[in-house]
Amino acid sequence: MDTTPPEFVGGSSVFTVDLSGDYLITSWPEDAVSDSEEFFQLDYKFAVGHTAYGTDIQDFQPLQSGDSCTLTYPPNCTAVDITNMDWFLHGHHSYYVSIKITNSAGLVTIQTSDPYIHDVQLPAEGVIIDIDPQNFVTDIPLKDIEDVDFQTSADSMSARWLGFAHPHLDVTYNISIGTTAGGSDVVSMKDVGTSLSHIELGLTLTPFETYYFTVTAISLAGDTAVSSDGVTIVTENDALSGITINDGKPCNMTDLTLGHHEDDNRIYCADDVDVQMSTSSLKAYWSIPVGIQPYTRDAYIAIEKRTGTGNMWTTFRDFVHFATVFDVSIDDLTLDPGIKYRVVLKLCARTICFQSIHTDGVMVIANPPTAGDITIEHLNTTEGNGVEKLLVSFKQFYDPDIEDTTEKYEAVDKYEFAITDNSIHGKPYTTWTNLVTYTTTANQISFEYELNGTMDFSRCKRFSIRGYNNVKLYTTISTEVKDCDAYNPVLIVPNIVIDAVGAPDALGNNIIYSKKTPFCSGI
């Protein structure tokens, strides 16, 4: 006759209660249960309650398989899907799992577990701050924002973190470093205990590569991993390739159509401007390859001034921050005519700057060219071997403000000429013609102009030359083809037109004559 209940050896301490996914797994040693008087299989059931031996959450029911628990005999575990229990489990509450064992004589043993605390809340997602290794300290700094996006160190990385809190559990930390968020291809998972900052030394980091610091907060309830926003390795004062910078601004000349007799005297439209009229403004624009734009977010602009002669550049205006821009117009300047200025661009990754670049410079030309004397000799067909021509010689025009001898003459772009009247503004008898063929000797320009037919000297005529500089300001000089005031002999003989007034009469009647304004029959 069976008079003793089953025996559970070890008490509550032999139970292990863990949450695995949605399953609450309770396990115990296989040899923990015995009944020396029992010849049949024992019956096992489990219950869950708020207190030891309690059944208020889940009443006794047969053992169940689930997750890592597979039922065998004798059993050593049971599983329960917490989503299918009579009552839900609440966070950070204590629960007890009780095992009831019954033998064939109906004798019962109940053993309860130690308290299981239902902590399923993970540590909060904290914030990781990338720190320049050169400024790394273990103490929390006074400034509010310490996070850096760029650093020059290629052999170390450091970070600080905060906010990985858990209301009930202790939290420890692992760190890793990789070329992607969450990656560990540079530094694999590393235990740093409860520290809230870490510096990793002895690294080999690639310039212009971005690296991410990942912190994993570990608690009994699970882990939370967060990565920094990344830090890019840059080299201070490094020369960046692919960047172009030009004076002026992009332009086009498609908005004006000229007649076929007109010559285009507008300022030449170029991608890179070499001259300008303005004495108060400088403009520049640049392009940066897309691949390096992420670490050239800050632009600093300075202006340099060249000496009047030679090629020495000095600072005219020091660097000013212009943030992320691709062009600039500085409009509060006082520039000297005849001086060359250039815009200097320094691109930076926040406070780490690369090698500066500059435009090739723009010359300020604010005044018309200065002209010299002009002489002319008229040859008739006899003197000109059958061709009437003009022999013209004049001093080469130059810019009055440029000191350099070569540059002052190069500032004059072109010449054109015409035969004009003797008025103040010199109204042309012929269209203005570009001077193409000529000779230059010691800054004296000479050329011949062949006339088409015979020049009419019934009026005073002048030969005018107009010289344009590179910003299309011009100066005009002229001289009389023949001395219009000569009287012995008189060289300019006006044409006289006689008009007959009155109705025609018989042959021999008187005719009244009237002297009219002189008439010009041609050039």
Domain boundary among 117, 150, 177: 117
On whether both 103 and 133 belong to a single domain, the answer is: no
Per-residue pLDDT tens digits for 39-72:
889 999 999 999 999 999 999 999 999 999 999 9
Torsion, CA 270, CA 275, CA 277, CA 281, rounded to 10: 80
Which range of residues forms the domain containing residue 192?
127-233
Of the ranges 270-274, 339-343, 444-448, which one carries the lowest mean pLDDT score? 270-274
On whether both 95 and 229 belong to a single domain, the answer is: no
Element (H, E) at 193: strand 187-193
Q: What is the CATH number of the domain that holds 508?
A: 2.60.40.1930
pTM of the entire predicted model: 0.71
Structure tokens that stand for 283 in this block = 């403009």
Mean pLDDT within 419-444:
91
Looking at residue 367, its pLDDT comes to: 97
Give the residue with greater pLDDT, 498 vs 248. Answer: 248
Q: What is the CATH number of the domain that holds 29?
A: 2.60.40.10
Residue 238 placed within a domain: no
**DSSP string over 294-321:** GG--EEEEEEEEE-SSSS-EEEEEEEEE
Looking at residue 390, its pLDDT comes to: 93
Looking at residue 455, its pLDDT comes to: 78
Looking at residue 135, its pLDDT comes to: 79
74: cis peptide before it, omega within 30°? Answer: yes
Residue 440 placed within a domain: yes
Q: Are strands 298-306 and 340-349 parallel, antiparallel or unpaired?
A: antiparallel
Residue 484 placed within a domain: yes
Looking at residue 508, its pLDDT comes to: 56
Residue 181 has pLDDT above 70, yes or no: yes
Residue 442 has pLDDT above 50, yes or no: yes
Residue 2 placed within a domain: no
On whether both 371 and 486 belong to a single domain, the answer is: yes
Looking at residue 518, its pLDDT comes to: 43
Residue 239 placed within a domain: no
Residue 259 has pLDDT above 60, yes or no: no
Per-residue pLDDT tens digits for 318-377:
999 987 789 999 999 999 999 999 999 999 998 899 999 999 999 999 999 999 999 999
Looking at residue 385, its pLDDT comes to: 82
Residue 408 placed within a domain: yes
Give the residue with greater pLDDT, 18 vs 120. Answer: 18
On whether both 209 and 316 belong to a single domain, the answer is: no
Q: What percent of the chain shows pLDDT beyond 90? A: 67
| CA 367 – CA 345 distance, rounded (Å) | 29
Mean pLDDT within 407-419:
96
On whether both 33 and 101 belong to a single domain, the answer is: yes
Residue 258 has pLDDT above 80, yes or no: no
At 84, the amino acid letter reads: N
On whether both 407 and 345 belong to a single domain, the answer is: no
Looking at residue 159, its pLDDT comes to: 95
Residue 12 exposure: Cα atoms within 13 Å on the Cβ side: 10
Looking at residue 494, its pLDDT comes to: 81
Domain boundary among 90, 117, 144: 117
On whether both 490 and 422 belong to a single domain, the answer is: yes
Per-residue pLDDT tens digits for 211-235:
999 999 999 888 999 999 999 999 9
Q: What is the SS3 assignment for 82? A: helix
Looking at residue 2, its pLDDT comes to: 67
Domain boundary among 98, 117, 136: 117
| CA 17 – CA 4 distance, rounded (Å) | 28
Looking at residue 340, its pLDDT comes to: 97
On whether both 507 and 394 belong to a single domain, the answer is: yes
Strand partners, 235: none
Cβ proximity of 142 and 135 under 8 Å: no
On whether both 379 and 482 belong to a single domain, the answer is: yes
| CA 62 – CA 45 distance, rounded (Å) | 4
At 232, the amino acid letter reads: T
Q: What are phi and psi of 14, to 5 degrees?
A: -85, -10
Number of domains in the chain: 4
Looking at residue 142, its pLDDT comes to: 44
Q: Give me the count of residues in the chain.
A: 523
On whether both 146 and 212 belong to a single domain, the answer is: yes
On whether both 513 and 407 belong to a single domain, the answer is: yes
The burial class, CB within 10 Å (0-12 / 13-18 / 19+), for 114 is middle
Q: What are phi and psi of 13, to 5 degrees?
A: -70, -20
Confidence of residue 522 (pLDDT cuts 50, 70, 90): very low
Residue 103 placed within a domain: yes
| CA 136 – CA 365 distance, rounded (Å) | 54
R_g over Cα of the chain = 50
Strand partners, 35: none
Q: 177, 263, 268, 166: which is closest to 215 by C-alpha? A: 177
Helix, strand, coil share of the chain (percent; to 5): 5, 40, 55
CA end-to-end distance (rounded Å), the chain? 153
Structure tokens that stand for 376 in this block = 């002319």
The per-type count for the chain, helices as H runs and strands as E runs, is 1, 39
**DSSP string over 203-248:** --PPTT-EEEEEEEEEETTEEEEEE-S-EEE--TTPPPSS-EEEES
Residue 187 placed within a domain: yes
Per-residue pLDDT tens digits for 71-128:
999 999 999 999 888 888 888 899 999 999 999 889 999 999 999 988 888 899 999 9
On whether both 48 and 62 belong to a single domain, the answer is: yes
